Structure 1
Amino acid sequence: MSQTPLDPTEARDFAGAWRLAQVIPGWLTEAQARVLWEAALRLPAGNRILEIGSHQGRSTTVLGTAARRVGATVVAIDPFVEGRLFGGKPTRKRFEQNIAAAGLKGVVELIPGYSTELRPDWHRPIDLLYIDGKHDYWTFTDDLRWSAHLTPGGEILVHDSYSSIGVTSGILAKILFGSRYTYQDRTGSLARFRATVPHPAERVRVLAEIPWFLRNVFIKVLLRLRLRPVARVFGHDDPYDPY
Structure 2
Amino acid sequence: MPGGTTIGFESAWESVRAVPGWLTEGQARMLWDAVCRLPAGATVVEIGSHQGRSTIVLGHAARTIGARVVAVDAFVDGRLFGGASTRARFEANIAAAGLTDVVELVVGFSTRLRPTWTRPFDLLYVDGKHDYWTYVDDLRWSAHLPSGGEILVHDCFSSIGVTSGTVAKVLCGSRYSYVDRSRSLARFTVRRPGLADRWRVVAQLPWFAGNVALKVLLRLRLRPVARLFGHRGSYDPF
- TM-score, structure 2 normalization: 0.98
Q: Is the 8 A contact 1:25 1:58 kept in 2?
A: yes
Q: Give, as a single letter, the amino acid of the residue that structure 2 aligns with 1:103.
A: G
The partner residue of 2:17 within 7, 19, 22 is 22
Q: Secondary structure at the match of 2:180?
A: strand
The residue aligned with 1:3 is: none
Q: Is the 8 A contact 1:8 1:101 kept in 2?
A: no
Aligned mates of 1:209, 1:109 — CA distance in 2: 34
Q: Say what the alpha-carbon RMSD is for the aligned residues.
A: 1.1
1:41 correspondence with 2:56: no
Q: Give, as a single letter, the amino acid of the residue that structure 1 aligns with 2:143.
A: A
Q: Is the 8 A contact 1:21 1:61 kept in 2?
A: yes
Q: Is the 8 A contact 1:74 1:107 kept in 2?
A: yes
Number of residues of Structure 1 aligned to a counterpart in Structure 2: 238
Unmatched segments (≥5 aa) in structure 2: none
The residue aligned with 2:70 is: 75
The residue aligned with 1:84 is: 79
Aligned mates of 1:109, 1:10 — CA distance in 2: 17
Aligned mates of 1:13, 1:84 — CA distance in 2: 34
Q: Output one character per residue of 1:99-146: Cα deviation in whole Å (capped at 9) or x when no partner.
A: 011111111000000000000000011100000000000000000000
Counting aligned pairs with the same residue, the percent is 66
Q: Output one character per residue of 1:149-197: Cα deviation in whole Å (capped at 9) or x when no partner.
A: 0011000000001100000000000000000000000001000000000
The residue aligned with 1:187 is: 182
Q: Output one character per residue of 1:53-82: Cα deviation in whole Å (capped at 9) or x when no partner.
A: 000000000000000110000000000001
- TM-score, structure 1 normalization: 0.96
Q: Output one character per residue of 1:9-46: Cα deviation in whole Å (capped at 9) or x when no partner.
A: 66511011111122110000111001001111111111
Q: Give, as a single letter, the amino acid of the residue that structure 1 aligns with 2:21.
A: G
Deviation at 1:218, TM superposition (A): 0.2
The partner residue of 2:60 within 54, 57, 65 is 65
Post-superposition, which runs of at least 4 consecutive aligned residues in structure 1 deviate over 6 A?
A: none
Q: Give, as a single letter, the amino acid of the residue that structure 2 aligns with 1:109.
A: E
Aligned mates of 1:56, 1:239 — CA distance in 2: 20
